[in-house]
Structures are given as structure tokens and as C-alpha cells.
A and B are shown apart, each in its own frame.
Chain A
Amino acid sequence: MNDKPEKLIDKKGVRLDGRKPDELRPIKIDVGVLSNADGSAYIEHGKNKILAGAYGPREVHPKHLALQDRMLLRCRYHMAPFSVQERKSPAPSRREVELSKVIRESLEPSIFMEYYPRTALDVFVEVLQADGGTRCASITAAALAVADAGIPMRDIVVACAAGKVEDTIVLDLMDEEDKLGSADVPLALMPNLNAVTLLQMDGILTVEEFEQAVNLAIEGCKKISAIQKETLKAKYVDVKEVEE
């Protein structure tokens, strides 16, 4: 594992795992996997395995955190100790605290927070296996869990990253590309409204490269969104079949 690959992308433009620069990793999504949660989702995005559960709206505990004019959204992003090669301490790290905030802020614009004042919506994201781009996969799963819980939403948020690997702009970076590549642009989108809810950049890109990466990430988001919606509908598809 420690031997670095010589080239992340070969002359023909094929990446380490055999993908083209604008190709996503295989994605598998499931909803309603946790019976104790009001809504839940499980995503396999490449080698990432992430579980998300949504609880609420419910009473706020401790009470002083309640907001008088809107719902309180709380997110917890956590990586299991066995999710990475070296054991990760189960205590929340700086990075996890930041990602919890990032996930919360990317979901917030999509939810009708003002409908249910003095309540809380708790979203728990548990990374079971990590392979680069967990924040994007987490947002995709968390948004789906919230939709599954029956919370009124403007749109289902979906996220995807693009980046730069050896002078090529590529879609959906995996772990090695993320670590050895030169830039990473995660982006979350409300696809139907065409509104961006999260945009970050790590590394250096020229303005042209940045625009190219953003456009590529948006395309990726739209592809994932189609899978997301299909999965949500599939939960009730047997209901639909009986009806027809």
C-alpha cells in the first residue's frame, strides 16, 4: 500500500482504477435501512461505505438549544475506528467536527426549517469504510435520510467532487488521487433548483481549471441525483405496482 504508483493517470487518460477522467465510481444506495431511525440511508460510493440516520423533528434536549423561530439541525459525522487502514481514534477529531458543520450547512438550505420551530432534527453519519470523498458521499446519504424521514424539503441535496490529478481535471477523486493529486473541489447541489449549497477547494487551480472542475462536479452531481431519486421511489415501487 505504501509504494506510490508512478503515474496516477496514464497516456491514454485512464486512471488507476481504470476510469476515464469524467467517470464516476460505481454507486449503490439503499433507503430505510435502520428501523429505529425516522429516516435512513446507506451508500456505497466506490469503496466508501456510509450509513446515515435522521431523527426528528423531535423535542430539543437540552432545552436551551431550541430556536424559537425554526428547527434546529444537528449533524454528527463520525468515522468508525475500522474505517481506515490505521485505527482511527473514535473520539471526534478536528476534521470530523469540521465535516459535521460542512454537512449541516449544505443540508440547511434544502430543509423548510421555519415550519417546525422549537424542534430538532438530528442527522448521524457513520463512515464504515473510507476511500476519499467521504464528505460528498455523506451529504448524499444524509439528504436521502432526511427525505426518507418525511421532512419537507425544497430539493434533495447531492454532492460530488472534482479535482486535478497530474494536470488533468478529473471527476470523483478516490483516496490516492485525493492524497497525491494537486487539487480537490467538493461541491453540493440542489439539482432541480440548480443551486450550490457547498463549495470548497483544497489545492491550487487556475480560474479556468476551477470553472472546468465545478462544471464537471455539477455533471457528476446530476448523475448521482438520478440514482438517489430512483432509490427513494424504489422503496415504494411495490406499492405502485399493486395500484396499476
Chain B
Amino acid sequence: MPIFFETRQIVTPGDLIAEGEYIAGENTYKENEKIYASRLGLVDTENKKVSVVALKAFYIPKAGDIVIGTVAEVGFNGWTVDINAPYPAILRAGDVLGRPFRPQEDDLSQVLDMRDLIVAKVASYDRTHDPQLTVGEPGLGKITRGQILKITPTKIPRVIGRKGSMVSMIKQETGCNIILGLNGVILVTGKTLESEQLALMAIHKIDEESHTSGLTDRVTQMLKEEKAKMEENKNE
């Protein structure tokens, strides 16, 4: 039962990673007791599970995911939302209004118009139906302030860090609130423009150096240095 690649080694689609009694994890497939890679990425082994951390992928909705989307179309009884996925997401009017939708009285474009940004949760999705969103929970709904950043969806776990260490560190250092959409869209809201920019800079750095180790420490250091610089500028 050999493994042909070491952990964190780069593989391309079709590379034979392991043979024998292993479990095929993410971005791999099993055929005749052999596990092959199905995406370009880095090998990751955990007990008997062999998976590949993709270097490039796209977002596929999953029920329960928090996502950030753009209203693409105002329909007759709801909205179509672009959530950066191959499928358009549907948001029903009743869900946003919190009461049954009355087509005679309610003007949907007054509630959410085209190009409005929303934080939403994927209520349901399967391969036969387009994803449906909900905003009926605290913290969800229309975005009124803050800044948006888009990164590769596969890198969101890196921004979160181990048990949320990375994102809570950035929140603490910059004093910003950060909402991570699992579809690769990030919302940063802070008290000042500077603090928002600082947080964006940190996330940008994580996006670019996502496959390096000891990143949390380096991001912390960068934030501290930048903050010191800002203080200096203020004092001058």
C-alpha cells in the first residue's frame, strides 16, 4: 500500500497518489484500488484519507454556507443573486420581508435593487435545483457599509486559520469586523477607512502567500509595523 507523493507535494490531474486501502478525499478519485488526483494541488494525507488541497477551484454551494452575493436581477416574487458559483442563487421575497409577499403592494426594487450586496446563508442546494438563499437570521441581509474583497474560494480556510486563529487575530489588530463568505467574497467593516485598508492588506497577503508556513506570525508582524507607521504619520 504505497503512497507515491509526500504531504504538501504538488500534483497535477491524473497523477497516481496512492495504491491500496486508502480513502479518496477531496479532489481525488479512486479507480481499481488506486487513488489519482483530479485537480492541481498539494497532497494532504490524514490517517487513511488521501486528499488534494486545490490551488485553483470554484465555489460549489452547500446548505448552511454563509456567502456574500450581488443581486443580479429583481424578479416578480424574489431576486436572482450572483454568488460566484456556476449556478444562480434564488432569494424569495417572503424570506426578506419576513411576512407573505403581496405582489400588489410590495415593490421589490425598493427592498433590494440590482447590484446591492447581501450576506446570506445557503438554505438548500442539490444537483437538481439551483441554490436558495435565506437572510432570516441575525447578521444576514443587505450590506450598507464596508469594503469587499474577492479571493479564490479554496483559500478561505487559510484566512480563517486553525480554529479561527488568523481571522480573530486580524479582527483584534485592526478592530474591524470581518465576514468571510465561503464563496470567496470577504466583507470588512471598520470604524475608520485606515483600519479597513489594513485588514484588506492582511487578507491580500494571506491570499498571495497562502501556501507558506508561519503565515499568522508574519501577518501579525506586518500589521503591527503598518500600525506603527500610521501612528507616526498622524503625529507629524
Contact = CB atoms under 8 A, between A and B. Distances in A.
Main secondary structure of the interface of B (DSSP, over half): loop
Contacts of A242: 209, 211-212
Interface residues of B, number: 29
A112 interface: yes
A233 B10 contact: yes
A152 B27 contact: yes
Interface in A108-141: 110, 112, 116-119
Interface in B108-129: 127-128
A86 interface: no
Contact of A232 (B12, B88, B127): B12
Interface in B161-218: 209, 211-213
A57 B86 contact: yes
Contacts of B58: 38, 57, 150
Contacts of A155: 13-14, 36
B123 to A, nearest CB: 19
B29 interface: yes
Interface in A77-104: none
Interface in A28-45: 38-39
Nearest to B126: A117
A153 B14 contact: yes
Contacts of A59: 86-88
A150 B40 contact: yes
B8 interface: yes
B65 interface: no
Interface stretch (B49-57, B97-105, B139-147, B227-235): B49-57
B70 interface: no
A59 B88 CA distance: 8
A229 B13 CA distance: 9
A194 to B, nearest CB: 11
Nearest to B10: A233
A155 B86 CA distance: 22
A117 B129 CA distance: 10
Contacts of B38: 112, 152-154
A192 interface: yes
Given A243-B8, A243-B212, A152 B13 contact: yes
Interface string A38-60: 11000000000000000011110
Given A68-B128, A112-B38, A153 B13 contact: yes
Interface of A: 38-39, 56-59, 68, 110, 112, 116-119, 147-156, 190-193, 229, 232-233, 236, 239-240, 242-243
What 10 pairs between A and B have smallest CB-CB spacing?
Answer: A155-B14, A150-B56, A153-B13, A57-B86, A192-B14, A152-B38, A119-B86, A150-B57, A229-B12, A239-B211
Given A152-B29, A236-B211, 20 more contacts: A68-B128, A112-B38, A118-B87, A119-B87, A149-B56, A150-B39, A150-B54, A150-B56, A153-B39, A154-B13, A154-B38, A156-B14, A192-B15, A193-B36, A232-B12, A233-B40, A236-B55, A240-B211, A242-B209, A243-B211
